[in-house]
Chain A
């Protein structure tokens, strides 16, 4: 499919976009906490990937390569945006209310569970936005999206040790910001 797309086959590229769109969008969304920005950046990342497809040597997987384009684009965007962050959060899925891990986090004192989840969502996103971009990215890719340290190292073009240390520091920071919401 990648070979066909490299020859300019837009139908093949359409299939590739469909395959990775959700993961790429989610990464950018968790980095920006803004749906509109994530939409624009995700589209631009896929467009740039198509334009640069001829330079794709196949040294890494297409998935890692597209991820790297999306991540670089997002970090550049965030550097330009700097302090102009305006959150536009996606709605929580209905199933969040039934997740045992999240239910355990919600205080029994307040019966309006949805409001608490919404409040938690907002506080969590605010805390994420306080992290530096590399730290936010590591938390997003590992703790939210479930990528391995090795995959993250490839995407961020750094060694695994750097990924681990960034992850540890980022978690410490988040823990401090969200201490009121953690038991």
Chain B
């Protein structure tokens, strides 16, 4: 047993050599950074895995995706079509927004005066008579306001201002 212990002591000394084995200088400086980068990459990978699973569970989507991958022109055309639809939608919605402005009616004519500037209600785009609306639209709102004012008697008022140098 003593001989064994002595030999183990020799062995222990020899094993000490392994403590001197060191990785290349500076190796540990970037180690943790690599670990953190791989963790971040893995988190992004999980997000892409969700997309992959969606593709796998929807075969028709997978076929479309495969077609896009095989023919980039098809993907481009699809992208253009989507953009076209989007632009059309935006234009269409902008046209629709103009209509409520025309609902402001004028019920009496404006007095004329040399001191006061005239506002011609018939020519002003914001002051259109209801009669004009009735004939040109299928809009139910215009039909409801034929015998009254939609905004509770909102009237156009004359605006007076003095021109400089005429006082």
Contacts and interface: CB of A to CB of B under 8 A. Distances in A.
B23 interface: yes
Nearest to A95: B20
B28 interface: yes
B26 to A, nearest CB: 13
Interface of B is mostly: helix
B15 interface: yes
B23 A35 contact: yes
B32 A17 contact: yes
A17 to B, nearest CB: 4
A38 B10 CA distance: 27
B21 A101 contact: no
Contacts of A39: 23
A121 interface: yes
A117 B19 CA distance: 13
B35 interface: yes
A92 B20 contact: yes
B22 interface: yes
Contacts of A22: 28
A104 to B, nearest CB: 7
Contact of B21 (A13, A29, A105): A29
Interface residues of A, number: 47
Nearest to A182: B10
Contact of A174 (B11, B13, B17, B40): B11
Given A10-B39, A22-B28, 18 more contacts: A10-B36, A13-B39, A25-B23, A30-B18, A39-B23, A51-B39, A91-B22, A91-B24, A99-B20, A105-B14, A121-B18, A139-B15, A144-B15, A144-B18, A171-B11, A172-B4, A175-B7, A175-B11
Interface of A: 10, 13-14, 17-18, 21-22, 25, 29-30, 35, 39, 42-43, 46-47, 50-51, 89-93, 95-96, 99, 101-102, 104-105, 117, 120-121, 124-125, 128, 139, 143-144, 171-172, 174-175, 178, 181-183
